[in-house]
Structures are given as C-alpha cells and as structure tokens.
C-alpha cells in the first residue's frame, strides 16, 4: 500500500507535496520521491531511508529549483523490487520528461516490459510500476495529449492502480486514474490536488471528490475533467468532509481498529493479486529455494505467536488436505526451546505480521541452524523475518496500526492457503482443475467479507445485550477451532474479560463443568460437515444455562433451535471460512470493548510488536 499526492497551480508546490507525504507515511515508508514539472523541465528527488525516507526527502529538496507550480509525490510500500532509491517513485520514461507515481500492482507488467524493451525502451528499476511511464511515452510519441495517452495505456494494463502522470511537454497538467487503489481529488481556488486519501490534502483543498474504478481525471489549475476508460465524460461524486485531521487519518472511522476491519476485503484482494504466472504456476514474492526442494518437502512446521499462530493453525488443515504433507504448528516461544527435531526435507514457515517478533525470528533461526529451509509470511517488506528466510510471501494488508490484529490475520490465511495450493501444484496432489477452482474461490472471499461487514449493526445489538457478561467460551471444530481461538483472543485483548477458545469436541473433557447461567458460549458453526456435532455441543451448553451466540451461514435453518443469537455469514468452501467467520467475532469484540469504554487501538499492557522476550 503506497501513498500518492499531486498538486497543480500551487504557489507552494514543494510544501504541499512534502506535507502530504508526511501524512501518507502510514501507508508505507520504505522509500519516497517527488517530481516537479514545468515547461521543458522535470526535476526529481528520491530517497530510501526506511521510516526516515520522507525526512530525508525533505533534505534532498532543499536543493530543488524554485518556480514550479506543479508536482507529484510518492511514499512507497514495496511490493515488487527491493525498497531502494532506484525503485522509488516517481519513475521516468526514456526521455526523462514523463514522470509517474503508482499505488497498486500491474499484474501483466512482465509481458508489457518485454514488449516495451523490444521497442527499444530502457528500464532503470525492478518494479512493475515503471511500465506505465514507458507505455505513456509510446502513446505521447503518437501525438496524443497526456490524458488520452494515459487512457490508452491503461486499456493495456491488468491489475490495481491509483496513478498520476505528468509531462514536461504539457506543463500544469496532471492525469490521474484509479482501479481498486484509493484516489481522491481536491480543489481550491486556482489549485487542484490529488491524493490517496483525504488527510494528505485536508488543510489545503476546500472540496473533495471520490474517483471510482476505471475513471481518468485531467487536473489543471482551473479544476478537473473526468472520463471513464472508454473516454466518456463522468461526474465525480463530491465527498462531504467535516473531519478534523485525526479523524481523517482513520479514513473517517472512530479508530484505527474499525478502519482496519473495514479494509479486510482490500487486504485479501491485494494479497492475492498477481499470484499466477501465465503457465498457471502460483508464485511467491521472493523465492530463494528451488521448486524441486519445495516438491520434496517431507514435513512442514509452522511457528508463530498470537493471532499469527491462529492463522498458522488454519494453514495446517489446508496444507494437509491439499498437499498431503504432515504439518505441525508450534508457538514460537515453545519451539525455540524444545530442542526440536529437524529431519531432512523439513520446511519451516514463520508467520508474522511485523516480521520482527523476537520469538518467531529466533524460532526460524533455530530451525535454519538445524538444516530446515524457511518460508516467511510477513506484512512488512524486508522485515528481519523476510530478509533471513529462503522464500517470502508478503501479505499486502497495508500498515496495521491497531494493536489488535485484524486485516493481517485474514491476509495471512489467504497467503498461507496460496502456499498450500502451490505445494499441492508441485506435488500434483490436486488436479489442475481443482486448483483453479480453489484459486477462484479464494479470490471470491473478499466479496464475502465485504458482505459480512455490512451486517455489523446486528452484531452491535448482540454485543449490547451481552455487555454484562464476564465469562466467554469460543468453540469451533476443524478450521472453526482456530477461528474460535482468534475470536477469543480479540475479546480478551480488547475488553480485558476472560475468554477461552476451545475445540468443541473437548467440552466434555472438562470445560463443561464451567458452564452455568451467565456464561456466554460463542460457536463457529459454518462447516456443514461438522454441523450436527456443533448443534449437539450447543444443546449441551444451553441445557446448562449458557447464553449461546452462533456464527452460522445464511442458509442454516437449524441453528435458531440452539442459539440465542445468530451472526449470519455467506456460505463458503470450509477452508476459506476463517477469513469470513472471524469478521463477526472481530466486530463483536470491538463493540463489547467500545461499550466498556476501552481504548480499542491501544489495549492496556500490550504492544503492537513483541521484540523482547
């Protein structure tokens, strides 16, 4: 997730861009850059200084020439190409006149780059985005004005984009366009702005407009003109913005946690973008081990902590079911101290949102010392875990600010199930048609999550009715069990109430003794193959006075007989259900915490990343 900003017609271009990039840093900060453009001159500065990238850019810009009324800026969250200055945006075309910035993923960048290089274009970066500069250059050389050149170029592109382009031969014009990645336009007298979100231009623009998918906007000092990708004029929807800056940084949400819960469909979609080669092979972000080694894996061990451990538990079911490899899941802090046995052919998967959790890093190091190959699942590019691993699949959830992990969890499950499908592909344990069907199904999950998010008001009502409760059991079977564990963790860490996740089949082995009136049992009951058993578990707890909340599918006609409250979700392939079923549980924990007056973004005693033992 990157941040983009642009301004045209300004008397404070540099100030506008640098201030906006400061506000956009939360979207990613491994590198940053600015391009200032006027007739016949494009001036560019780029830095790659991690969290100090924008500050370093500010230094660089001290030497910028004056007198530019237009420019664009970018802060990068690397998805393709290491976070180095050479890969920082803006990217230029061969002439050096055209500058572009981009947030998103160009899925067909490889074939486009091959075609452009065959036509003599020279690339200077290892990114997908640079193809846009050269595509636009080609169109400009046909005599098209910039907005038409951008539009024609985007007709060739597959993937997600929020982009802005400028050309020193067409000064005081910025052409922007959007598909999936967010983009807003702002206006003030004599100045027009664009940005990834409102906060970046909140105190500069006086009116704000949303750009929708496949819309192209030509910005000039006098205002803007928008068309669809076919060139037909469109009207941009004006946004009613009465936020203060802090609210704006939360995208209009009350807090980062609700913002990040709402970003889950995009987090899943972005994590799954551009994951298949033309030959159908499912691909990683970084791969430093051979397909043969992956094919010959005899045993998989997943190590993780907290929410990431719950995602790892889901992966156990998927890898064993699809790739037929024996899988073990361990809490990182336990694995590293239990003198683990690592035979030849062991693959260790470290799962970590931050990629900096000390126990998970030390666990994977211990495994490597004993001869294992390591795959990292990380949300932060170039994190310690990613750097030391033999292969990496990045979740692309974007920065997760709230201590309670939400969008990272669903993105981790998506990435891990992608890995399970890759292993199945290499070992031919699934037919290609089944892999295609599962891959398609995985890509449909983001829409199902969006549907579930729309049902939040019912969850809020249930939370209000249970606000007095103090004891919660979360139950599930199969992949519903890790979902239950994650639901319990969310409630614990947000409300400070006692909540325990348990396999539903384990109730009779002890916990049933705790069930009495006042105890709330929350069950994940969406897997048809386990449904009868879950219903009988719920009948047992109900008979002993528990209040029962059930997560159930829209078509479940039996659940009402044993549940006091039902949180409905769309039916899905069982292996995908953790990404969907967790949503009402996140919303339940969130609503309970808000009802109890807790700080949902900064729960007591907790930190976002545990970098000390």
Please give the Cα distance from 607 to 402 (Å, whole number): 10
Instruction: Determine the angle formed by the axes of helices 577-595 and 264-272, rounding to 10 degrees.
Output: 150
Instruction: Out of 75, 346, 357, 452, point to the residue binding ligand AGP (CB under 6 A).
Output: 357
Task: For residue 604, report the phi and psi dihedrals to the nearest 5 degrees.
Answer: -60, 150
- The single residue among 405, 448, 483, 537 that binds ligand AGP, judged by CB under 6 A, is 405
Cα separation, 249 vs 401, in Å, equals 11
Q: What is the DSSP letter of 336?
A: T
Task: Say how many residues touch ligand AGP, by CB under 6 A.
Answer: 15
Rounded to 10 degrees, the C-alpha dihedral 426/427/428/432 comes to -30
- What strands lie across the sheet with 498-503, from one edge to the other? 498-503, 471-476, 519-524, 547-553, 565-569
Least Å distance between CB 377 and ligand AGP? 9
Q: How far is the CB of 493 from ligand AGP (least distance, A)?
A: 6
Q: Which is nearer to ligand AGP, 103 or 308 (CB)?
A: 308
Using the rule CB under 6 A, is 346 a contact of ligand AGP? no
Using the minimum distance from each CB to ligand AGP, give the nearer residue, 347 or 485: 485
User: Which region among 77-85, 106-114, 349-357, 544-552 touches ligand AGP (by CB under 6 A)?
Assistant: 349-357
Q: Least distance (Å) from ligand AGP to the CB of residue 41?
A: 45
Cβ atoms of 84 and 126 within 8 Å: the answer is no
Q: Which residue is nearest to ligand AGP (CB)?
A: 306
In this complex, which beta carbon is closest to ligand AGP, that of residue 129 or of residue 384? 384
SS3 for 178?
Answer: strand
Distances in Å between the Cα of 443 and the Cα atoms of 148, 160, 339, 451 are: 32, 14, 39, 14
- 403 binds ligand AGP per the rule CB under 6 A: yes
Hey, which residues are catalytic here? 2, 608
Q: How far apart are CA 69 and CA 8, in angstroms?
A: 6
Residue 610 as a binder of ligand AGP (CB under 6 A): the answer is yes
Any contact of residue 395 with ligand AGP (CB under 6 A)? no
Query: Rule CB under 6 A: which of 26-65 touch ligand AGP?
Result: none
Instruction: For tokens 């192209």, name the residue.
Output: 216
Cα distance between residue 472 and residue 477, in whole Å: 17
Measured from the CB atom, is 390 or 493 closer to ligand AGP? 493
Question: Any contact of residue 360 with ligand AGP (CB under 6 A)?
Answer: yes
Q: Does 115 bind ligand AGP (CB under 6 A)?
A: no
Instruction: State the Cα angle at 383 between 377 and 389, rounded to 5°.
Output: 55
- Measured between alpha carbons, how far is 303 from 367 in angstroms, rounded to an integer? 10
Please identify which residue in 153, 308, 452, 553 interacts with ligand AGP, judged by CB under 6 A. Answer: 308
Is 444 a binding residue for ligand AGP by CB under 6 A? The answer is: no
Task: Tell me if 609 contacts ligand AGP by CB under 6 A.
Answer: yes
What lies within 8 Å, CB to CB, of 230 at 6+ separation is none
Q: Of 121-129, 135-143, 403-411, 582-590, which segment contacts ligand AGP by CB under 6 A? A: 403-411
Residue 307 touches ligand AGP, criterion: CB under 6 A: yes
Report residue 218 as tokens.
């030509």
The answer to the question of residue 271 lying near ligand AGP (CB under 6 A) is: no
Annotate each residue in 491-520 with x if it binds ligand AGP (CB under 6 A) or - if it does not, as one string: --x---------------------------
Residue 273 φ then ψ, to 5°: -65, 140
The binding site for ligand AGP (CB under 6 A) comprises 305-308, 352-354, 357, 360, 403-405, 493, 609-610
């Amino acid at each position: 997730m990157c941040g983009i900003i642009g301004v045209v017609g300004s008397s404070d271009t540099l100030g506008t861009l640098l201030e906006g990039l400061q506000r956009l840093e939360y979207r990613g900060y491994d590198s940053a850059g600015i391009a200032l453009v006027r007739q016949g001159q494009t001036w560019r500065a780029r830095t790659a200084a991690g969290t100090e990238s924008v500050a370093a850019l500010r230094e660089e810009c001290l030497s910028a020439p004056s007198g530019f009324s237009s420019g664009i800026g970018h802060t990068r969250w690397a998805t393709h190409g290491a976070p180095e200055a050479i890969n920082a945006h803006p990217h230029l075309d061969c002439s050096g006149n055209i500058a572009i910035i981009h947030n998103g993923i160009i899925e067909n960048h490889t074939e486009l780059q091959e075609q452009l290089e065959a036509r003599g274009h020279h690339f200077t970066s290892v990114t997908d985005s640079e193809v846009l500069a050269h595509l636009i250059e080609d169109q400009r050389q046909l005599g098209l004005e910039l907005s038409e050149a951008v539009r024609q170029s985007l007709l060739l592109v597959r993937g997600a984009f929020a982009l802005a382009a400028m050309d020193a031969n067409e000064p005081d014009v910025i052409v922007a366009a959007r598909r999936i990645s967010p983009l807003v336009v702002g206006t003030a007298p004599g100045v027009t702005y664009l940005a990834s979100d409102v906060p970046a231009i909140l105190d500069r623009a006086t009116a704000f407009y949303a750009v929708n998918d496949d819309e192209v906007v030509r910005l000039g000092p006098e205002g803007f003109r928008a068309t669809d990708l076919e060139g037909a004029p469109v009207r941009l929807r004006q946004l009613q913005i009465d936020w203060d800056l802090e609210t704006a940084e939360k995208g209009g949400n009350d807090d980062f946690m609700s913002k990040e819960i709402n970003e889950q469909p995009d987090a899943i979609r972005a994590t799954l973008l551009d994951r298949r080669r033309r030959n159908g092979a499912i691909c990683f972000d970084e791969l430093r081990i051979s397909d043969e080694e992956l094919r010959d894996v005899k045993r998989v061990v997943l190590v993780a902590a907290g929410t990431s451990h719950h995602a790892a538990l889901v992966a156990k079911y998927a890898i064993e079911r699809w790739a037929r490899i024996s899988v073990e899941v361990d809490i990182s802090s336990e694995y590293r101290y239990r003198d683990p046995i690592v035979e030849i052919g062991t693959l260790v998967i470290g799962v970590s949102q931050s990629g900096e959790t000390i126990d998970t890093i030390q666990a994977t190091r211990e495994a490597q010392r004993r001869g294992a190959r390591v795959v990292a699942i990380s949300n932060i590019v170039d994190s310690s875990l990613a750097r030391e691993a033999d292969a990496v699949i990045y979740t692309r959830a974007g920065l997760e600010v709230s201590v309670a992990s939400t969008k990272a969890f669903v993105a981790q499950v998506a990435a891990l199930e992608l890995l399970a499908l890759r292993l199945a592909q290499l070992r031919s344990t699934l037919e290609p048609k089944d892999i295609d069907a599962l891959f398609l199904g995985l890509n449909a999950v983001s829409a199902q999550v969006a549907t579930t998010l729309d049902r939040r008001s019912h969850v809020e009502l249930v939370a209000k009715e249970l606000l007095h409760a103090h004891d919660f059991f979360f139950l599930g079977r199969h992949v519903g069990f890790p979902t239950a564990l994650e639901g319990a963790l969310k409630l614990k860490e947000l409300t400070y109430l006692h909540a325990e996740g348990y396999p539903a089949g384990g109730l009779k082995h002890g916990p049933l003794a705790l069930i009495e009136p006042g105890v709330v049992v929350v069950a994940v009951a969406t897997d048809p193959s386990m449904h009868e058993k879950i219903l009988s578990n719920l009948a047992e707890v109900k008979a002993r006075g528990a209040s029962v909340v059930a997560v159930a599918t829209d078509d479940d006609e039996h659940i009402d007989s044993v549940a006091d409250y039902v949180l409905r979700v769309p039916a899905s392939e069982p292996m995908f259900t953790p990404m969907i079923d967790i949503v009402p549980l996140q919303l339940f924990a969130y609503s309970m915490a808000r009802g109890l007056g807790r700080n949902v973004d900064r729960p007591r005693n907790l930190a976002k990343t545990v970098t000390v033992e």
